[in-house]
Amino acid sequence: MMNDDSPDAFRNVSRKPGMQIWTINNMQLVPVPAQGFGNFFEGDCYIVLHGSGQSADIHYWIGNSSSQDEQGAAAIYVTQLDEYLGGSPVQHREVQGSESPRFRSYFKNGLIYKKGGVASGFRHVDTNAYNVLRLLHVKGRKHVAATEVEVSWNSFNNGDIFLLDMGKAIVQWNGPQSNRREKLKAVLLAQDIRDRERGGRAQIGVVEGGNEEDSPELMKVMMAVLGQRTGQLKDAIPDDKPDQVQNASVRLYHGNLVVQEVATQPLTQDLLHSSDCYIVDQRGSSVMVWKGKQASKEERREALNRAVGYIKAKNYPSSTTVEVMTEGGESAMFKHLFKSWRDKGQTQGLGSTYSLGKIAKVDQVKFDVMELHARPELAAQQRMVDDASGDVKVWRIENLELAEVNPSTYGQFYGGDCYLVLYTYQRSNQQQYILYMWQGRHATKDEITACAYQAVNVDNKYNGAPVQVRVVMGKEPRHFLAIFKGKLIIFEGGTGRPGVVNPDPGARLFQVRGTDELNTKATEVLARASSLNTNDVFLLKTDKTCYLWYGKGCSGDERVMGRAMSDVLSRQDKQVVMEDQEPAEFWVALGGKAPYASDKRLQREEPPHSPRLFECSNQTGQFRMTEVDDFAQSDLDEEDVMLLDTWEEIFFWVGNLANQQETKEAWNSAQEYLRTHPAGRDPDTPIIFVKQGYEPPTFTGWFNAWDPHKWSGGNSYEEMKKKLSDAASISQITVDVNNANLNKSPGGMGGGSYRAPGGPRGSGMYLDPQLLINKSPSELPQGVDPSQREEYLSDADFENLLGTTRPDFQRLPKWRQNDLKKKAGLF
């Protein structure tokens, strides 16, 4: 059995980023070759190491029919591997069928559960092994899992998708009640099996279960393997219960033998002491263990077992996810459960906490608009789509209709009104629009409703192109501040409607925040001494004079902006007042002297939380949100509504094919999401509505390598199916199947030579690259598709010219493929 010092098991652990997988065979670790990644035997346990250094994750995966011994061995290896890597990786326990979003994100095309295990004669995948005959039952829209089932019509049902895999050919059968998204995911899985396990050499055909008569050849193939079908297929099986994304109840526990409750939400970082280990329980949906740096070696080693024991003691399902992490190496998910989180070495005092009177200073970067376009990640972090030099138009809601606001008063917002602000800017020679809906704190319900209704009218006028942003008074996003060029003033109450006289409130006090034209606003606060703050500039307007009060903690830039703001607010003479040198009249106007926030830089930093993406769907008849870990642009699904939480704002991305009901429910669920968020989030966080194809850089910047052309020429299911179902490749499948004697046991699938997909039909020949390179379409050999020249190259020529293998090339975004083709002269 294993001894304590068994680093020899980890001799082949590479310190490089990427992924390594081992399976447990006779209590020993056996590496799994890369072609086998994503295949899991149900009778085995696996260890998956992803990433390196500080940001590594170790998962141990438990097959449904694996033995207790193997599960125990896996847990011990995980703890040892963690120690071997210095204790910084996050450890995760994964159970077949209930894997975490992070684990699934490593296998973007899906997981395959295989019958049997090591004990049943485990053989490594051989890329030339076509002697396969199996039926895969594919389930899932975002997270796909395929399970090997009995090769028989009895395994089929009307709602799911099945892949009949015969080695050289794979036939995909789509249940009549499956949807486009599921079909697309299954095609991607079939292609993944072809590329990863068959070295790119297998044909794929697709049958629509509702219209089998449209695919007579493929049906013949299926009948040849499965026999004639008798009777009706089974009904669709409903999908599993919805994932609970977040539960309102989070509890923190600690203790060795007796687990004691320490606190309930919202949790704060100071509850965690370095000398202890803690369990955070998200009402059974996930259990996380935090190991303090100074906790004893014994305690840290036991952490994983303790969590598993805790799940048993609480009678939680055995599939409950477990994460174990070390102080300093916390996962994003863990930090999201805390009200505020500061990482070591993070500066104090800069940031953007919003509560009035304590609005922390945002460290504004001066930007150049070209750079924001070139670097969307900067746009996203700064929350700025451009340098705010576009056109602004403002309407006020009056008698529930839109009334244009006089441009000379742009930037003045009254708490008794609602406004629509349309901002227009250019990006790559195209007009882009943002429509802000600003709702005053004292506006009537009717006005707020009218504001939303009028926004829809404006949106329709511009063909749905505007990005809509709900702005709550006092929580204006950074870009909103910038478009008013340092003249944004927010009046607590009243109205800006012409002809309405607002009652005279006597003295009025305004807090000015900002260091330049892009980030400054003045907010009316209660005209009392207690509203002052030593870090800011305040304007006190009385009927006689306008005081400019400079707190000791404010900078020269802030004073300049305060002075400019005072000119917008009042034509009276200004009197400068330095903190601690106030004249008596100043305090009289404020109703007397009183203590106020005078601690320099008392701001708490808003933590830089990592963004999280959720899919919102009512496909199962009830609304649910599912998290997508390690997300990419390809996870945005045309049929769905997605929610991107960047902490400072919430984006709603609406796909072109999303249904109305989902879109409507998504708005409500965004508010519900904020309300029930375990970290006690601000319910007025801006909610931004983005439509597919009109994404602003503040959204796209959170995605790595955003491709703006993806939607125009993306790989929709229809396009992929068309590619696969040219007559030649279907006849090839029939040839393969006829040559293979399927009555024998699965094996001996000979026959059918491999042909270039879509290559010169029936010839089985590749072309000399010289006939394809730098030729105009008219000079190409007859029958060659000019947009697919690379398909006519042999594998060796393909790699020589394009510098990458066929399967790797297929995984690149379209623009990158075209780049490589241009360089090789194949475009």
What pLDDT digit, counting tens, does each position of 442-500 carry?
888 888 889 988 998 998 898 888 888 888 787 788 889 989 988 999 998 888 888 77
Task: With cut-offs at 50, 70 and 90, classify the pLDDT of residue 688.
Answer: confident
pLDDT at 805 over 70: yes
Tell me, what's the pLDDT at 284?
66
Indicate whether 448 belongs to any domain.
Answer: no
User: What mean pLDDT comes out for the span 602-613?
Assistant: 58
Is the previous residue joined to 266 through a cis bond, with omega within 30 degrees of 0?
yes
Q: Which of 348-362, 390-404, 422-436 has the lowest mean pLDDT?
A: 348-362
**Are 111 and 168 contained in the same domain?**
no
Indicate whether 716 belongs to any domain.
Answer: no
Q: Which of 91-105, 487-501, 611-625 has the lowest mean pLDDT?
A: 611-625
Instruction: Say which residues have a Cβ less than 8 Å from residue 790's Cβ, sequence separation at least 6.
Output: 798, 801, 802, 809, 821, 826
491 compared with 344, residue with greater pLDDT: 491
**Are 116 and 153 contained in the same domain?**
no
Give Cα 61 distance to the centre of its chain.
24
Tell me, what's the pLDDT at 585?
92
Q: Of the spans 317-321, 510-514, 775-779, 810-814, which averages the highest pLDDT?
A: 510-514
Three-class SS state of 119:
helix
- How distant, in Å, are the alpha carbons of 98, 159, 286, 626, 746 from that of 93? 10, 31, 10, 19, 35
Tell me, what's the pLDDT at 624?
67
Tell me, what's the pLDDT at 124?
44
Tell me, what's the pLDDT at 162?
95
Indicate whether 114 belongs to any domain.
Answer: yes
Q: Which of 120-124, 262-266, 330-334, 749-753 has the lowest mean pLDDT?
A: 749-753
357 compared with 244, residue with greater pLDDT: 244
Task: With cut-offs at 50, 70 and 90, classify the pLDDT of residue 118.
Answer: low
pLDDT digits (tens, 9 = 90+) for 126-147: 444 567 788 999 987 767 888 8
**Are 261 and 299 contained in the same domain?**
yes
Q: What is the mean pLDDT of the chain?
A: 77
pLDDT at 666 over 80: no
665 compared with 153, residue with greater pLDDT: 153
**Are 106 and 47 contained in the same domain?**
yes
Question: What is the rounded CA–CA span in Å between residue 569 and residue 412?
Answer: 9
Q: Of the spans 102-111, 531-540, 575-584, which averages the highest pLDDT?
A: 575-584
Strands 412-414 and 90-95: unpaired
User: What mean pLDDT comes out for the span 366-378?
Assistant: 53
pLDDT at 164 over 90: yes
Q: Which of 19-23, 301-305, 420-424, 663-667 has the lowest mean pLDDT?
A: 663-667
DSSP 401: E
pLDDT at 606 over 60: no
Question: What is the rounded CA–CA span in Å between residue 352 and residue 367?
Answer: 18
Report yes or no: 478 and 471 within 8 Å, Cβ to Cβ: no
Tell me, what's the pLDDT at 321?
78
Strands 145-149 and 134-139: antiparallel
**Are 553 and 522 contained in the same domain?**
yes
CA dihedral 502, 508, 513, 519 (to 10 degrees): 20
Indicate whether 297 belongs to any domain.
Answer: yes
Tell me, what's the pLDDT at 346?
41
**Are 526 and 585 contained in the same domain?**
yes
Closest CA to 586 of 535, 530, 545: 545
**Are 620 and 693 contained in the same domain?**
yes
Task: With cut-offs at 50, 70 and 90, classify the pLDDT of residue 172.
Answer: very high
- Residue ranges of the alpha helices (H) in 627-704? 660-676, 697-700
Tell me, what's the pLDDT at 603?
40
Q: How many other C-beta atoms lie within 10 A of the C-beta of residue 363?
A: 12
**Both tokens of residue 734?**
């029939």
- Residue ranges of the alpha helices (H) in 408-471? 445-461
Q: Of the spans 157-166, 372-381, 459-468, 692-701, which averages the highest pLDDT?
A: 157-166
We report the CATH number of the domain holding residue 670 as 3.40.20.10
**Are 139 and 115 contained in the same domain?**
no
792 is in which domain, residue-wise?
769-824
Question: What is the rounded CA–CA span in Å between residue 564 and residue 569?
Answer: 9
Tell me, what's the pLDDT at 428?
72
Nearest-Å Rg of the Cα atoms of the chain is 31
339 compared with 633, residue with greater pLDDT: 633
pTM above 0.75, yes or no: no
Number of domains within the chain: 6
359 compared with 568, residue with greater pLDDT: 568
**Are 115 and 138 contained in the same domain?**
no
Indicate whether 323 belongs to any domain.
Answer: yes
Give me the residues paired with residue 643 across strands: 614, 652
Tell me, what's the pLDDT at 377?
65
We report the CATH number of the domain holding residue 787 as 1.10.950.10
Tell me, what's the pLDDT at 242?
42
SS3 per-residue string spanning 255-287: CCCCCEEEEECCECHHHCCCCCEEEEECCCCEE
Tell me, what's the pLDDT at 757?
37
SS3 per-residue string spanning 754-821: CCCCCCCCCCCCCCCHHHCCCCCHHHCCCCCCHHHHHHHCCHHHHHHHHCCCHHHHHCCCHHHHHHHH
Indicate whether 271 belongs to any domain.
Answer: yes
The pLDDT > 70 percentage for the chain reads 78
Indicate whether 813 belongs to any domain.
Answer: yes
**Are 71 and 41 contained in the same domain?**
yes
Three-class SS state of 500:
coil
Residue by residue, DSSP assigns 663-683 as HHHHHHHHHHHHHH-TT---T
The sign of the CA dihedral 792, 797, 799, 801 is negative
**Are 621 and 591 contained in the same domain?**
no
pLDDT at 61 over 60: yes
Closest CA to 183 of 160, 164, 216: 160
Tell me, what's the pLDDT at 582?
93
- Residue ranges of the alpha helices (H) in 484-580? 556-569
Q: Quote the crossing angle between the two packed helices 216-226 and 727-739, to the nearest 10°.
A: 20
Task: With cut-offs at 50, 70 and 90, classify the pLDDT of residue 356.
Answer: very low
Question: What is the rounded CA–CA span in Å between residue 615 and residue 652?
Answer: 10
Domain boundary among the residues 301, 321, 337 is at 337
Tell me, what's the pLDDT at 161?
93
pLDDT at 537 over 90: yes
DSSP 234: B
b (16+ CB within 10 A) / e for 202-239: bbbbbbbbeeeeebeebbebbeebbeeeeeebeeeeee
Instruction: Say which residues have a Cβ less than 8 Å from residue 670's Cβ, sequence separation at least 6.
Output: 643, 650, 652, 687
Tell me, what's the pLDDT at 731?
67
Angle at 236 (CA atoms; ends 235, 242), nearest 5 degrees: 145
**Are 596 and 633 contained in the same domain?**
no
Domain boundary among the residues 210, 226, 242 is at 226
Amino acid at 287: V
Indicate whether 457 belongs to any domain.
Answer: no
Three-class SS state of 302:
helix
The pLDDT > 90 percentage for the chain reads 14
